[in-house]
Amino acid sequence: MTAKGRNVQGKSCLMQGNEACAEAAVVAGCRFFAGYPITPSSEIAEELAKLLPRVGGKFIQMEDEIGAMAACIGASIGGSKTMTATSGPGFSLKQENLGFAVYTEIPCVVVNVMRGGPSTGLPTSPAQGDVMQARWGTHGDHPMIVLAPASVREIYDLTIKAFNLSELCRTPVILLYDEIIGHMREKVEIPDPSQFRIIERRSPTCSPETYLPYKGGEDDVPPFIRFGEGFRYHITGLAHDERGFPTQNPRIVEAKQWRLHRKVERRREEIVSHEAFHLDDAEVAVLAYGVTARSARAAVRMARSQGIRVGLFRPISLWPFPDLEVEKLAGQVKAIIVTEMNLGQVIYEVERVVRGAASIVAYQKASGEPIHPEEILSAVKGVC
């Protein structure tokens, strides 16, 4: 039985994307959620308001998105796995505290269900305009882990993965999907929770007297102790040393920067993932993510039925970007068609990686409507 009282494990059920996110968060060990209602992510908060009290967790509706992000950071420092969820303008408001969590190495999960923008934009329409904001939204030079599901079941799986990577790397992780994926309902089979690997944060093995809260071990990730357990340490958004105290020593500051990047790079094989569909003999590849990848898959099937050799490359991890895999793809095909519900974001990363090895063609749309399979098929025929 789930915390909601529904026996869904091992059975097929009709589930909404945002509902799947909430259910999976509880399975991953989330016991604290702070958020603020905002379309099209509100169902996540609504579900967790019911789910968390039933498993001993806490739900707080905050006064705004800034406070929600801050509350998640505080609860994580207190020892809980935490999550917040938002959309569009709310994601913008979270950026300062998100940067604080990156620099102070506080694990948490942030869900952004994308909608049309900028500003208030199109609250009930899908878009993919927050891809670069998810990577570079907060100031400074830092790594970021961003996962992009394309189905209800994948939302479930990647929510658990987001929590695991957050604890493993001691960093915030962003789950990024669009309004359609969040609101659609699909028949999914939910495995028993025992089938999932759940990662917990690593505690220090040293004595309180020798504990250094920002000293990375062999994997560059410092052990993390919650407040109140006898280990004293200092937390600041200023540049800090291994004790957590502010410093302007250039050697220490740069060493910290490199370690933040290395701890993510070391886990590239665990983080970076993609889906390949009909690429073995493809002359042209369509690169798409989220709901656009669903249209692209249909377009590939349509093209194949007409004898056109085309395939789909779907990044599942947007950041770190699957650059090695895209570079290999460019050596296999003559053209890559990048389809996005924006006016150009991931395409620039593709161009950076491909470096002229294959032609790059854009099919972009920012009207608040999804890209349809027939549109992608037309783009494919224009290349072939």
Question: How much is the pLDDT for 5?
Answer: 42
Per the DSSP assignment, residues forming a β-bridge with 284 are 310, 335
Question: How much is the pLDDT for 226?
Answer: 86
Q: What is the mean pLDDT of each run of 10 residues along the chain (384 residues)?
A: 50 92 97 97 98 98 97 97 98 98 98 97 97 97 97 98 98 98 95 91 92 93 90 94 97 97 97 98 98 98 98 98 98 98 98 97 97 98 93
Question: How much is the pLDDT for 171?
Answer: 98
pTM of the model: 0.96
282 close to 177: Cβ distance less than 8 angstroms? no
Q: Which residues of 70-89 are buried (b: 16+ CB within 10 A; e: fewer)?
A: bbbbebbbebbbbbbbbbbb
Which residue has 């961003």 as its token pair?
A: 146
Q: Which residues of 193-225 are buried (b: 16+ CB within 10 A; e: fewer)?
A: eeeeeebebbebeeeeeebebbbbeeebbbbbb
Question: How much is the pLDDT for 184?
Answer: 97
Give the Cα separation of 210 and 227 in Å (integer): 16
Question: How much is the pLDDT for 143?
Answer: 96
Give the Cα separation of 296 and 294 in Å (integer): 5
Query: Closest Cα partner for 97 from 119, 68, 76?
Result: 68
Instruction: Report the helix count and the strand count for the chain, using DSSP H and E.
Output: 14, 14
Tell me: the pLDDT tens digits for 250-285?
Answer: 999 999 999 999 999 999 999 999 999 999 999 999
- Domains of the chain, by residue range, sit at 11-195, 274-383
Query: Closest Cα partner for 68 from 27, 43, 98, 102?
Result: 98
Question: How much is the pLDDT for 74?
Answer: 97
The H-or-E segment that residue 336 falls in is strand 335-340
Q: What is the fold, at CATH topology level, of the domain defined by 274-383?
A: Rossmann fold (3.40.50)
Which CATH number is 11-195 given?
Answer: 3.40.50.970
Q: What would the two tokens of residue 372 be? A: 């349809």
Give the Cα separation of 301 and 296 in Å (integer): 9
Question: How much is the pLDDT for 8?
Answer: 61
What are the φ and ψ backbone dihedral angles of 170, each rounded to 5 degrees? 50, 60
**Three-class SS of residue 293?**
helix
Peptide bond between residue 107 and the one before it cis (omega within 30 degrees of 0) = no
